[in-house]
Structures are given as C-alpha cells and as structure tokens.
Chains A and B, each alone.
Chain A
Amino acid sequence: MIDSLLIIKIVLLVFIAMYIGFMIVVITQLQRLSGILTIPFQNGMRVFALLLLLLGVSLFLLSLAIL
C-alpha cells in the first residue's frame, strides 16, 4: 500500500514539474509576442500566465511538504 502511494507521489511531482516547464514556455512565447505587437489585454494575459506558473510552483512545494 505504501508503495502505491509512493508511486502516486512521484508521478504527481513529475507531472507538476512538467506543468511548470510548460508554463515557462507559455510565458516565453507571450514575451516574444508582446515584442512583436501591442494589443489590449496583453499584460492581463502575462499576469494570468505568471499566476498559473506560481500556482504550479506552490503546488509542487505543497506536494513535497505534505505527501
């Protein structure tokens, strides 16, 4: 039983780490696109993407702490 929980924990941590990498790519693309053109709500998109990245990092740390 303990082994299956350990597997779940490792899988969850790996997926959250992948998610963090994905969000970093999204933010990089947003930076590139905001260099190309200026349109309304661009900053809102960046803030939202950063928020999602922070949530991912928080979830990763929380998983490390409580699992």
Chain B
Amino acid sequence: MPDLFTPPLEPQSTKPPIPPVVPVPTVTPAKEQHVRVFSAFSQAPANISFQHQKDGETIMLFLRRHFITNTTWITFGVFLLLLPFLLLWLVSAINIDLSFLPARYVLLLVLFYYLIVISFLFTNFFSWFYNIFFVTNIRLIDIDYENLLYLDVSETTLDRVEDVNYKQVGFTASFFNYGDLTVETSGEHQFFEAAKIPKPSLATRIIEDLLVKNKTG
C-alpha cells in the first residue's frame, strides 16, 4: 500500500562520528620511592630536587646506569689494591735487592700508591653517581658526566618528545635486564640517551604514559 504521508527526514547531524575509545596502556602509579646511594631506578623519588625546579613539578623517574656495569673498574681497582702484595712476593721470589731504598721511601711510595688507587675508585664511582637521567611531569633532564673535564646538562620539555625507544644488546644486558633508552625530540638536542639503565621497558612505558597524560592535559 502506498504511503499517503511521509514525514520529512530529520536533518542529519553534521558532527563527525565519535571514534571508539582505545584504551591506552598505562603504568600503575608507583608509591614514592627514596633514592639511595646505589639506586639506579627509582619511580617518583621523594628525596631529590634540582636547580630551577618549577612549582608543581615533580620528578617521576630517576635513572642511572645499572650498578653491574661498574664491574670492570671495581675488578681493576681490587687488582690494583692487591698488586703491591703480588710485587712483594715477586721481589722475594726473584731475589731482587732493594736495600738501597730506605724504609721511609718505601713507606711513602706505598702510601701514595694506595691514595692514587682509592682516588681512582672514587672518581669512577663519582662519574657513575652523577650520570643521571630524570624525567619530571614537565621535562626530561640528562646529566652526562664522563670525566672531570666533561659535564653536559641538557633538558627538553615533554611536548617536544617525538619518540621513545630502547634496546638491549648482549647477554649481560638481557641477563641483568638493562639497556639503552633513547628519546628523540624535535629540538636542537635531538637525542637524549640514558645508557645501560635498569628495566628499560618499564622506563619507556612510564615516559610514554607521561607523554599521553601531557597531550591529553
């Protein structure tokens, strides 16, 4: 049967369809942790601060090299600590005559040697201790301290970050779960790298999570 009356069509909505909400993988907010002397990974650390920290700016992630990466210089340091005993044994075994050297000279040489070795250990620890990468809710700060004459402090805001990725290469990196985290930015300093940090996948997820929160406001 034909329709005698058809109601006018309602004007269609010009609004674009709302895309389905895609769940964003988020990292559960961590309890505040305290950075300790040997800490290499700390989420939301409560006991650190930095120069020019803004009001409301909180540190979300604190990273250093994994402590296991210090094995080389620690082993070498222990070897240097034991070296005089080895030399003493060698001198007595080969019968080298050191009688021309007075005892006070030997004492001062040994004291100075141990002072040098302790300073070697200290400066290596020092360069590990101050090689820090941290992420706040506003920016990334990378402190590179290679040696006594090289200090590089660089920072960028989170809205400049374009990509975050990490890589784990080698047996020890896989076994001890450390790797290199790289952050690409659009600024002048294009790459921020946190080398050999523990739990690189978790650190990447935390930074990605912060980026999402930063973009969505």
Contacts and interface: CB of A to CB of B under 8 A. Distances in A.
Interface of A: 1, 4-5, 8-9, 12, 15-16, 19, 22-23, 25-26, 29-30, 32-33, 35-41, 44-45, 48-49, 52, 55-56, 59, 62-63, 66-67
Contacts of B104: 66-67
B122 interface: yes
Contacts of A12: 108-109, 112
Contacts of A45: 126, 129
Given A38-B49, A67-B105, A19 B116 contact: yes
Interface residues of B, number: 33
15 contacts: A1-B100, A5-B101, A9-B105, A12-B112, A15-B112, A19-B112, A19-B115, A22-B119, A33-B151, A37-B50, A39-B35, A40-B34, A41-B36, A55-B115, A59-B115
Given A40-B36, A49-B122, A63 B108 contact: yes
B68 to A, nearest CB: 19
